[in-house]
């Protein structure tokens, strides 16, 4: 068996230790005589798994007691719809448009009211994160919506807007658990698991209680009401049991390897290796402005589309996968989430140098 | 490692071969150098996994070409909402009420129009499946809704209503792939995976094309529109990749072990062992009427609640788990899905006899 460096934007690399644990426990979880996949979600053993996952996540981030943690399905994409359905009380929100994901969120939110775009990177191809200091919020907005790390472009907010009493709702899908999070700045944080957390099919929501205490602004089907999910500990219906278990193993891995402080340090180190090299090179061009760069998704180009294609072809001999940029941006993208080791980034830069030497 | 007989109503036992395959491939799927969990859903390797899963399912059931197969999230519970959202064109449906699951479906459907209950087992505690021959349908109904196997009570339809031109929509969650299915009788068949198919977090929909060709009767968020899922091969957003892979392994297991014809024979044999014994005993009472019995969930009682509790306690020494009946029905329930071996049922009956001898 030879594991490779997988630079996928998500689903993405998971810690090898976690996969080994999952493989070892596949037929018999802790002497239960069954796989976690086969367990009744109403069993004591499974209740302990989900309770521990939540407790470990709370510990890892430091989630205050006045926030609920929910494990849901449908990805951030279902979140785009459920958040306005549940929390557009006055029927008006402010939104910071940083690309494809906020545009999808906007489209769904418009079914439930007015969306006021208070800043947009559209004019500059989403290469720059709007300045949060200069934002003006609508006093009657139900919430301010943003996407923290923009996987497609490789951009990220360096600070969060101060929205005062207006809840800040943040899609953190691709940077969640890559750095410490000050939860109390937010009304809602949510993230699809398939970047830093676990397998696709689990979406984590951290929601401030006061939002859940207000009745839903419209009649909602049971699955689509966060209040029902919260009242039932994410188990109104069968949750994605195995996915939550894997997330739990990842939380334990993060806790025993230095927590989010270490990840922050390690992720900065990994990104610096790549960005420092990109900045020192006349051959490669980074896609995003220097002050808007993501630590998770590093986007860049060679001098031409042909060389981009050649770069991808050449990457195969080192077994580097998924370095192609998103179709809407083109070029190249290296996603270097928590589970990507430093050595993977170093190996990529070595190949980039070799390629530059051969083609400049 | 000692595997046990797990009589859980779902999530439930999976074939040991499948779990062994999944464990062996956990760190390196077919020489790809990564786990299926870590694969980009846009990669060729993953596309092949989901395409094969669909092709195998089509082969297994014999799904006609004019039906789409979708792998979704949110369980049957999200289906309760999405089906009326997407297909209540005239705003009126007929529904056969066979218990908790159809009542939940009814509650959500009422948000989108009128629900006409054309038959109900409510008066007899859902111990009897309504006679489908005597049903009268509303000529302007968008569809007729039913739940085939009722996990909680242990009841199942022995034949399907002939609804003529009105599409028949069937929740098959707990009997899907336990027997052959004549798909063309239905407009929609759907099933949560966690009984006979795979891990919780995958829901399979089989939808006749003409239903998807009509525009949605109301504006829908992207995730909640089956048309968008169908146009994007279940990958408008990241699907539950690992869960679908496990379902695919189960489909291959079913194909190589005699398909649905063998399962039908095997499931009838397993159920007969239990029901024959129940019918021969004066000690145990089956919950459901003889002509309405499920082959998947066998519900019964001892002469008293105290003895039921003692039965469960005594089952521990044989490591039989999850034999407790659903809280809304009480008593005992043995769920014997595809992956429960004949020997598991024989061992349970041996214990039942022992318990009867000791307590009658």
Task: Identify the pLDDT of residue B360.
Answer: 86
How many CB atoms sit inside 10 A of residue A110's CB?
A: 15
Which domains are assigned to chain B? Answer: 16-256 (3.40.640.10), 258-358 (3.90.1150.10)
A232: Cβ contacts below 8 Å, ≥ 6 apart: none
Task: Identify the pLDDT of residue B283.
Answer: 98
Number of H helices, E strands in chain A: 10, 12
Phi, psi of A76 (to 5 degrees): -60, -30
Q: Which two tokens stand for residue B51?
A: 């395409």
Cα–Cα dist B299/B287, whole Å: 5
From the candidates A171, A270, A308, A324, give the one annotated as an active-site residue: A171
Which residue of B4, B6, B7, B11 is the best one to mutate when testing the A interface, meaning the one whose CB has the most A CBs within 10 A? B11
Q: Which of B77, B194, B173, B110 is nearest to A223 (CA)?
A: B77
Residue A196: Cβ-neighbour burial (10 angstroms; 0-12, 13-18, 19+): buried
Cα–Cα dist B85/B226, whole Å: 10
Helix (H) or strand (E) holding A170: strand A168-171
CB-CB under 8 Å, B201 with A73: yes
Counting as low any pLDDT under 70, the low residues of chain B are 1
Contacts of B246 in chain A (CB under 8 A): 37
CA B291, distance to chain mean position in Å, is 20
Task: Identify the pLDDT of residue A1.
Answer: 47
Counting as low any pLDDT under 70, the low residues of chain A are 1
B19 touches chain A (CB under 8 A): yes
Residues B315-330 pLDDT 10s: 999 999 999 999 889 9
Q: In what order do the strands lie in the sheet with A188-192?
A: A67-72, A203-208, A188-192, A168-171, A144-147, A92-97, A114-120
Residue A171 appears among annotated catalytic residues:
yes
Cα–Cα dist A299/A333, whole Å: 4
CB-CB under 8 Å, A77 with B223: yes
The percent of residues in chain B predicted with pLDDT above 90, rounded, is 98
Residues A233-258 pLDDT 10s: 999 999 999 999 999 999 999 999 99
Q: Which two tokens stand for residue B179?
A: 């027997």
Residues A298-330 pLDDT 10s: 999 999 999 999 999 999 999 999 999 998 899
Residue A324 appears among annotated catalytic residues:
no
Q: Which two tokens stand for residue A271?
A: 């990104």
Q: Are A84 and B223 in contact (CB under 8 A)?
A: no
ipTM above 0.90, yes or no: yes
A272 touches chain B (CB under 8 A): no
Phi, psi of A218 (to 5 degrees): -155, 160
CB-CB under 8 Å, A81 with B221: yes
B192 touches chain A (CB under 8 A): yes
Q: Which two tokens stand for residue A356?
A: 């530059």
Which residue of B8, B17, B40, B191 is the best one to mutate when testing the A interface, meaning the one whose CB has the most A CBs within 10 A? B40
Q: Which residue from A minimizes the CA distance to B10?
A: A40
Chain A nearest CA to B29, separation (Å):
9
Contacts of B40 in chain A (CB under 8 A): 8-12, 322
CA dihedral A227, A231, A234, A235 (to 10 degrees): -120
| C-alpha atoms less than 13 angstroms from C-alpha of B2 in its C-beta half-sphere | 5
A107 touches chain B (CB under 8 A): yes
How many CB atoms sit inside 10 A of residue B64's CB?
A: 12
Q: How far is CA A242 from CA A238, B8, B246, in A?
A: 11, 16, 11
Cα–Cα dist B223/B236, whole Å: 8
Q: Which residue from A minimizes the CA distance to B33?
A: A3
A45 touches chain B (CB under 8 A): no
Cα–Cα dist B63/A159, whole Å: 52
Map tokens 């291959």 to a residue.
B252
From the candidates A156, A195, A252, A324, give the one annotated as an active-site residue: A195
A23 touches chain B (CB under 8 A): yes
Q: Are B13 and B340 in contact (CB under 8 A)?
A: yes
How many CB atoms sit inside 10 A of residue A215's CB?
A: 9
Helix (H) or strand (E) holding A94: strand A92-97
Q: Which of B95, B191, B193 is nearest to B142 (CA)?
A: B95
Partners of A120 in the β-ladder: A97
B322 touches chain A (CB under 8 A): yes
């Amino acid at each position: 068996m030879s594991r490779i460096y997988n630079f996928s934007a998500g689903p993405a690399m998971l810690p090898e230790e976690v996969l080994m644990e999952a493989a070892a426990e596949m037929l018999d979880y802790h002497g239960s005589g069954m796989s976690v996949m086969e367990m009744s979600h109403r069993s004591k053993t499974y209740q302990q798994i989900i309770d521990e996952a939540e407790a470990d996540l709370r510990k890892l981030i430091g989630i205050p007691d006045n926030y609920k943690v929910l494990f849901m399905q449908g990805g951030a994409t279902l979140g785009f719809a459920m958040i306005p359905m549940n929390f557009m009380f006055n029927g008006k929100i402010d939104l910071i448009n940083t690309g494809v994901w906020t545009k999808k969120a906007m489209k769904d939110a418009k079914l439930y009211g007015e969306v006021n775009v208070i800043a947009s990177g559209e004019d500059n191809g989403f290469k720059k994160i709007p300045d949060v200091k200069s934002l003006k919020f609508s006093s009657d907005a139900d919430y301010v919506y943003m996407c923290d790390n923009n996987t497609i472009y490789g951009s990220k907010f360096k600070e969060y807007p101060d929205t005062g009493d207006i809840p800040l709702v943040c899609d953190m899908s691709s940077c969640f658990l890559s750095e410490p999070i000050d939860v109390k700045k937010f009304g809602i944080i949510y993230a699809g698991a398939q970047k830093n957390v676990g397998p696709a099919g689990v979406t984590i929501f951290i929601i401030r209680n006061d939002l859940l205490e207000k009745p839903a602004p419209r009649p909602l089907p049971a699955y689509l009401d966060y209040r029902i999910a919260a009242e039932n500990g994410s188990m109104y219906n069968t949750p994605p049991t195995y996915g939550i278990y894997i997330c739990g193993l990842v939380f334990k891995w993060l806790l025993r390897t230095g927590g989010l402080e270490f990840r922050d340090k390690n992720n900065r180190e990994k990104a610096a290796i790549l960005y420092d090299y990109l900045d020192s090179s006349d051959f490669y061009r980074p896609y995003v402005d220097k002050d808007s760069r993501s630590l998770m998704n590093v986007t860049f180009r060679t001098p031409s589309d042909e060389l981009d294609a050649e770069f991808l072809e050449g990457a195969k001999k080192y077994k580097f996968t998924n370095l192609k940029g998103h179709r809407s941006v083109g070029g190249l993208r290296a996603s270097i989430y928590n589970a990507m080791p430093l050595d993977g980034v170093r190996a990529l830069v070595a190949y980039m140098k070799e390629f530059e030497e051969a083609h400049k």
